[in-house]
């Protein structure tokens, strides 16, 4: 009995994969880590699989498509391993429907994965606090339906085309199955090699689900005859693989159709399926030359990747790239930061401050409000918008009347920009309700699916589609997909050139907004605004002896001849929210080429820019206001417990330094900003106050009973419960973010704002 189990075909295939096909098993291992929420939890990757969205909602259709993708990936695994290892088991050639039999016996790994996925799915959905748990069965039915229908269609195809040895030689098949000499010689060589190999199999699981013994004596069958059986199987697998890849490429042509934008999880699984097919194809055709050939192709591609065709820039929509690039050197930087230019910009902003003050009663001294918002993807966008809605309400609609500047990074600025636009439109359209919850739904609608789908069908291959904006042509990429989806989600609220905000900001109808993405070339900030703000990049009091290095570059002055005023405002927001690999780094028309990255790398909280503004205009603020209120909106806890350190494993020792840099980046910036704020507070001659809001999961942990009596909790549980750093949020995450406004910390901040004296 032990021998029959040990030498059964399913068990022998499992051993073979563990011994020979570890590269293919890595994909299954990665998927398992994701389902167990042990990989990518902070970025929300597990939720893309456990709670996928399609057409901006989790539904039967979204799980159906994920089921289809899993089935295609599973079949890619079966086809690839059959091509690589099928000839090792010569008995397959003489049993009915050899490939279908192989798939059934090769299902231990896929079956285990499906069971684990369904358990993880049920656990996640039951914990997702649905109003009606019957919806979980709807999702489950969608996944199972997608999987079974895809398997049925593929197995039907192989059932019709898959001929066994005896059927194959009942008539002439040589003309039907003629293949190239290379592939036949390659397969024949494999059969000869495998005659010497020891792949002992005693029985196999038949498609009728009965255990059948394996015929051991195959001496009566010629190698060439056995070869033809595998030939025709291989032929039809190549047809299916080609059809699947072609279908994905065709979908890419029409990718802007929302019905063709697959859930992000489905796109990722299809990418794994294509990679699996390529591994099988390369290994089959090239054998021992596979690795050298792949290395050679990588080196060739790398050498060609800096050519114009392979390295076309990800452009900032609205800018004129046809003009001569702006000189990006110290001489030009010093020219645009000339004392006269800086003074001119200060005078213009002073006029804006005077217009701001004129909104209030003559002789009064209003409080000036500066709002800082932190980055954090869609989590920060939703949190910023929710806080601003409630803060505006409890202040008796005074908050934004007194706000002069908004600074920050990434998603927080997107949420703040949306509220600012709504506030501006409400001044001329009383029907706009600033506090309507529909805007929370809009800003938190899925923005990830089109990005990942575009990455799969476009950016990983060749970007060859164009679109027009403001009369200029630009290549479509996943940055375009991000902007297009954000524009759809927000009903076109932010789709305008940045110059459209010049007059509203100048007249102080809306606060100024300082976008400050990081320039990766030299670490400076790029200050993007409707008008020049060169004073943000250098001090007016600099002298030759101090040798002050400029900290920022004024966008309007630097790219004036490239039509800086026509920059699309959504593109400006994306420049400040560039997340690696998700939204591409933007290259600007300069020489050498300037590359832009997320503003959060230099200051994720916008504190530096807000305090810089206070420092530049402190004399005006002292004379014309009763002080400054700094309203800060964080998407992370300012105060957090210090984790207990345990003896690390060898692998943990290897990764801990990098992990510590990532985890502590938030703390480093927070501590740096605390120093800046306290020093500024001590140095100015007017009140500088601060009210802070923060998104924290502590209350949620306490409500779930996950915090012990001493206030301790498991970091893993907090990571899972905390809304992910992503451009897509689950229903539970949205609820967690919105309800966080009622935490004790935020209630206290809201009460302080309610009592705050905005006018003296």
Instruction: Name which of 395-409, 614-628, 661-675 the model is least confident about.
Output: 661-675
With 80 as the cut, is the pLDDT of residue 250 above it? no
With 60 as the cut, is the pLDDT of residue 560 above it? yes
Evaluate whether residue 384 is within a structural domain: yes
Kindly state whether residues 296 and 334 are assigned to the same domain: no
What are the residues whose beta carbons fall under 8 Å from the beta carbon of 634, sequence distance 6 or more?
Answer: 374, 605, 692, 693, 694, 695
Q: What is the pLDDT of residue 421?
A: 98
Confidence of residue 579 (pLDDT cuts 50, 70, 90): confident
Task: Look at 45 and 699; give whichever has higher pLDDT.
Answer: 45
Task: Look at 736 and 278; give whichever has higher pLDDT.
Answer: 736
Evaluate whether residue 677 is within a structural domain: no
What would the pLDDT profile of 701-729 be if each residue is shown by its tens digit?
Answer: 565 555 555 555 555 445 446 778 888 88
Q: Show which of 245, 275, 305 is a domain's final residue.
A: 305
Tell me the average pLDDT of the chain.
84
Q: Show which of 305, 337, 368 is a domain's final residue.
A: 305
Q: Contact at 8 Å (CB) between 102 and 237? A: no
- State the average pLDDT over residues 588-608: 92
With 90 as the cut, is the pLDDT of residue 518 above it? yes
Confidence of residue 77 (pLDDT cuts 50, 70, 90): very high
Q: Which two tokens stand for residue 165?
A: 């040895």
Confidence of residue 609 (pLDDT cuts 50, 70, 90): very high
Count of structural domains within the chain:
2
If you write DSSP's letter for every residue of 227-255 in order, what string do you get? HHHHHHHHHHHHHHHHHHHHHHHHHHHTT
Evaluate whether residue 676 is within a structural domain: no
3-state class (DSSP) for residue 101: helix
Q: Which residues of 238-270 are buried (b: 16+ CB within 10 A; e: fewer)?
A: bebbeebeeebeebbeebbeeeebbbbbbbbbb
With 50 as the cut, is the pLDDT of residue 351 above it? yes
* Nearest in space to 163 (alpha carbons), one of 153, 177, 180: 177
- State the average pLDDT over residues 53-64: 92
Kindly state whether residues 356 and 455 are assigned to the same domain: yes
Kindly state whether residues 360 and 244 are assigned to the same domain: no
Q: What is the pTM of this model?
A: 0.85
Evaluate whether residue 673 is within a structural domain: no
Question: Measured between alpha carbons, how far is 322 from 562 in angstroms, rounded to an integer?
Answer: 8
Query: Which residue is listed with tokens 């575009």?
Result: 454
Confidence of residue 159 (pLDDT cuts 50, 70, 90): confident
Q: What is the pLDDT of residue 222?
A: 44
Torsion angle defined by CA atoms of residues 234, 238, 244 and 249, in that order, rounded to the nearest 10 degrees: 160
Q: How far are the Cα atoms of 158, 194, 231 from residue 187, in angstroms, in the given order?
A: 20, 10, 8
Confidence of residue 173 (pLDDT cuts 50, 70, 90): very low
Question: Measured between alpha carbons, how far is 99 from 93 in angstroms, rounded to an integer?
Answer: 9
Kindly state whether residues 139 and 14 are assigned to the same domain: yes
SS (H, E, C) 647-685: CCCHHHHHHHHHHHHHHHHHHHHHHHHHHHHHHHHHHCC
Q: What is the pLDDT of residue 663?
A: 65
Q: What is the pLDDT of residue 155?
A: 87
Kindly state whether residues 522 and 635 are assigned to the same domain: yes
Kindly state whether residues 281 and 381 are assigned to the same domain: no
Kindly state whether residues 435 and 546 are assigned to the same domain: yes
Q: What is the pLDDT of residue 700?
A: 57
With 60 as the cut, is the pLDDT of residue 413 above it? yes
Kindly state whether residues 300 and 430 are assigned to the same domain: no
Evaluate whether residue 236 is within a structural domain: yes
What would the pLDDT profile of 631-644 be if each residue is shown by its tens digit?
Answer: 999 998 887 766 66
Task: Look at 154 and 496; give whichever has higher pLDDT.
Answer: 496
Confidence of residue 225 (pLDDT cuts 50, 70, 90): very low
With 90 as the cut, is the pLDDT of residue 411 above it? yes
Percent of the chain with pLDDT over 70: 81
Kindly state whether residues 299 and 332 are assigned to the same domain: no
Confidence of residue 176 (pLDDT cuts 50, 70, 90): very low
Evaluate whether residue 108 is within a structural domain: yes
- State the average pLDDT over residues 722-744: 87
First to last CA, the chain: 91
Kindly state whether residues 275 and 399 are assigned to the same domain: no
Question: Measured between alpha carbons, how far is 251 from 453 in angstroms, rounded to an integer?
Answer: 10
With 70 as the cut, is the pLDDT of residue 111 above it? yes
Evaluate whether residue 240 is within a structural domain: yes
Q: Contact at 8 Å (CB) between 451 and 482? A: yes
Kindly state whether residues 280 and 358 are assigned to the same domain: no
Q: Which residues of 647-677 are buried (b: 16+ CB within 10 A; e: fewer)?
A: eeeeeeeeeeeeeeeeeeebeebbeebeebb
Confidence of residue 67 (pLDDT cuts 50, 70, 90): very high
Instruction: Name which of 211-225, 462-476, 497-511 the model is least confident about.
Output: 211-225
Confidence of residue 41 (pLDDT cuts 50, 70, 90): confident
Instruction: Name which of 196-200, 404-408, 734-738 the model is least confident about.
Output: 196-200
Q: Contact at 8 Å (CB) between 412 and 374? A: yes
Instruction: Name which of 250-259, 480-489, 694-703 the model is least confident about.
Output: 694-703
* CATH code assigned at 550: 3.40.1090
Q: How far are the Cα atoms of 20, 658, 661 from residue 655, in angstroms, in the given order?
A: 28, 6, 10
With 60 as the cut, is the pLDDT of residue 195 above it? no
Confidence of residue 238 (pLDDT cuts 50, 70, 90): low
Task: Look at 116 and 581; give whichever has higher pLDDT.
Answer: 116
Q: Contact at 8 Å (CB) between 379 and 729? A: yes
* Nearest in space to 571 (alpha carbons), one of 503, 500, 487: 487
Domain with 91 in it: 1-305
With 70 as the cut, is the pLDDT of residue 573 above it? yes
Kindly state whether residues 292 and 362 are assigned to the same domain: no
Q: What is the pLDDT of residue 231?
A: 53
- State the average pLDDT over residues 496-502: 97
Task: Look at 131 and 277; give whichever has higher pLDDT.
Answer: 277
Evaluate whether residue 215 is within a structural domain: yes
Q: Show which of 305, 337, 361 is a domain's final residue.
A: 305
Q: Which residues pair with 403 in a beta bridge?
A: 369
Q: What is the pLDDT of residue 699?
A: 59
If you write DSSP's letter for every residue of 270-325 in order, what string do you get? HHHHHHHHHHHHHHHHHGGGHHHHHHHHHHHHHHHTTSTTT------TTS--SSPP
């Amino acid at each position: 009995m032990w021998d029959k189990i040990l030498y059964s075909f399913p068990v022998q295939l499992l051993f073979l994969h563990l011994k020979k096909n570890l590269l293919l098993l890595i994909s299954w291992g990665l998927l398992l880590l994701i389902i167990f929420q042990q990989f990518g939890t902070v970025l929300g990757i597990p939720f893309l699989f456990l709670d996928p969205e399609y057409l901006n909602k989790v539904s039967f259709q979204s799980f159906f498509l994920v089921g289809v993708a899993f089935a295609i990936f599973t079949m890619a695994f079966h086809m690839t391993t059959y091509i690589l290892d099928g000839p090792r088991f010569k008995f397959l050639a003489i049993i009915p429907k050899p490939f279908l039999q192989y798939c059934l016996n090769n299902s231990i790994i896929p079956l285990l994965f499906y069971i684990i996925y369904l358990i993880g799915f049920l656990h996640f959905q039951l914990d997702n606090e649905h109003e009606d748990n019957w919806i979980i069965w709807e999702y489950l039915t969608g996944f199972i339906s997608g999987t079974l229908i895809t398997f049925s269609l593929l197995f039907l195809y192989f059932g019709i085309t898959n001929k066994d040895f005896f059927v194959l030689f009942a008539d002439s098949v040589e003309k039907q199955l003629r293949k190239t000499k290379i592939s036949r010689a390659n397969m024949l060589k494999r059969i000869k090699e495998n005659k010497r190999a020891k792949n002992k199999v005693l029985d196999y699981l038949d498609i009728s689900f009965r255990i059948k013994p394996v015929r051991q004596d195959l001496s009566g069958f010629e190698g060439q005859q056995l070869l033809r059986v595998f030939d025709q199987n291989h032929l039809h697998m190549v047809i299916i693989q080609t059809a699947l890849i072609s279908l994905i490429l065709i979908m890419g042509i029409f990718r802007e159709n929302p019905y063709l934008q697959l859930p992000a999880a489905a796109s990722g699984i299809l990418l794994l399926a294509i990679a699996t097919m390529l591994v099988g194809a390369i290994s089959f055709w090239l054998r021992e030359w596979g690795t050298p050939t792949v290395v050679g192709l990588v080196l060739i591609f790398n050498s060609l990747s800096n050519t114009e065709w392979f390295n076309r820039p990800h452009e900032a929509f609205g800018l004129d790239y046809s003009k001569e690039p702006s000189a990006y050197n110290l001489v030009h930087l010093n020219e645009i930061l000339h004392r006269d230019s800086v003074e001119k910009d200060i005078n213009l902003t002073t006029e804006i401050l005077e217009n701001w003050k004129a909104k209030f009663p003559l002789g009064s001294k209003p409080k000036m409000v500066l709002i800082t918002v932190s980055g954090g993807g869609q989590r920060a966008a939703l949190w910023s918008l929710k806080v601003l809605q409630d803060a505006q309400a409890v202040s008796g609609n005074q908050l934004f009347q007194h706000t002069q500047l908004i600074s920050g990074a990434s998603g927080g600025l997107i949420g703040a920009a949306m509220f600012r636009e709504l506030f501006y439109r409400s001044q001329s359209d009383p029907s706009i309700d600033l506090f309507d919850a529909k805007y929370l739904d809009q800003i938190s609608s899925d923005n990830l699916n089109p990005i990942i789908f575009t990455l799969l069908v476009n950016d990983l291959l060749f970007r060859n589609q164009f679109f027009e904006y403001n009369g200029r042509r630009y290549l479509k990429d996943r940055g375009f997909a991000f902007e297009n989806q954000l524009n759809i989600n927000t009903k076109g609220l932010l789709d305008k050139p940045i110059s459209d905000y010049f007059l509203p900001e100048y007249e102080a109808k809306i606060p100024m907004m300082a976008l400050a993405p990081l320039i990766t070339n030299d670490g400076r900030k790029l200050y993007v605004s409707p008008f020049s703000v060169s004073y943000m990049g250098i001090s007016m009091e600099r002298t030759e002896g101090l040798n002050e290095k400029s900290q920022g570059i004024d966008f309007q002055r630097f790219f004036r001849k490239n039509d800086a005023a026509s920059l699309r405002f959504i593109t400006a927001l994306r420049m400040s929210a560039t997340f690696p690999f998700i939204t591409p780094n933007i290259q600007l028309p300069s020489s050498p080429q300037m590359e832009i990255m997320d503003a959060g790398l230099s200051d994720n909280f916008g504190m530096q820019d807000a305090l810089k503004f206070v420092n530049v205009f402190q004399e005006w603020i002292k004379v014309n206001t009763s002080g400054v209120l700094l309203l800060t909106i964080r998407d992370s806890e300012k105060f957090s417990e210090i984790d207990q350190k345990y003896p690390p494993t060898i692998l943990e020792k290897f990764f801990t330094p990098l992990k510590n840099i990532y985890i502590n980046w938030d703390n480093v910036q927070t501590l740096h900003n605390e120093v800046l704020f306290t020093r500024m507070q001590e140095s100015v001659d007017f009140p500088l106050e601060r009210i802070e809001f923060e998104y924290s999961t502590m209350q949620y942990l306490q409500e779930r009973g996950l915090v012990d009596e001493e206030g301790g909790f498991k970091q893993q549980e907090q990571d899972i419960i905390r809304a992910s750093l992503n451009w897509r949020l689950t229903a539970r995450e949205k609820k967690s973010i919105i309800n966080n406004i009622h935490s004790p910390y935020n209630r206290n901040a809201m009460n302080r704002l309610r009592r705050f004296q905005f006018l003296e």
